[in-house]
Amino acid sequence: MAKMTLKKRYSGSALGVGWSLVKPILFIFVYWFGIEIGIRGGKPIQGEIPYIFWLMTGIIAWFFINDVLNIGISSIRKDSHLVTKVVFPVETIPVYNVMALFFTHLLLLGLVVIVLAIFGFLPNIYYLQLIYYISFLFFFCCVLCTFLSTLAVVSRDFEQLVKSTTMIFFWLSPVIWTADKIGEGSILMRLLKLNPFYYFIQGYRDTFLFKIWFFERPYYTIYMIIFMIILTLVTSYLYRKLHNDFSDVL
pLDDT per residue rounded down to tens, the chain (250 residues): 555 565 566 555 656 566 667 788 888 888 878 877 766 656 777 778 888 999 999 999 999 999 999 988 988 888 776 666 666 678 888 898 899 899 999 999 999 999 999 999 999 999 999 999 999 999 999 999 999 999 999 888 999 999 999 999 998 888 888 887 777 778 888 888 899 999 999 999 999 999 999 999 999 999 999 999 999 999 999 988 987 777 666 6
pTM (global) more than 0.95: no
- Cβ atoms of 61 and 112 closer than 8 Å: no
How far is the C-alpha of 225 from the C-alpha of 219, rounded, in Å? 10
* 242 bridge partner residues: none
* CA distance readout (Å), 221 to 131, 133, 195: 15, 11, 13
User: What are the boundaries of each domain within the chain?
Assistant: 2-249
H-run or E-run covering 234: helix 218-242
Backbone angles phi, psi at 174, to 5 degrees: -85, 150
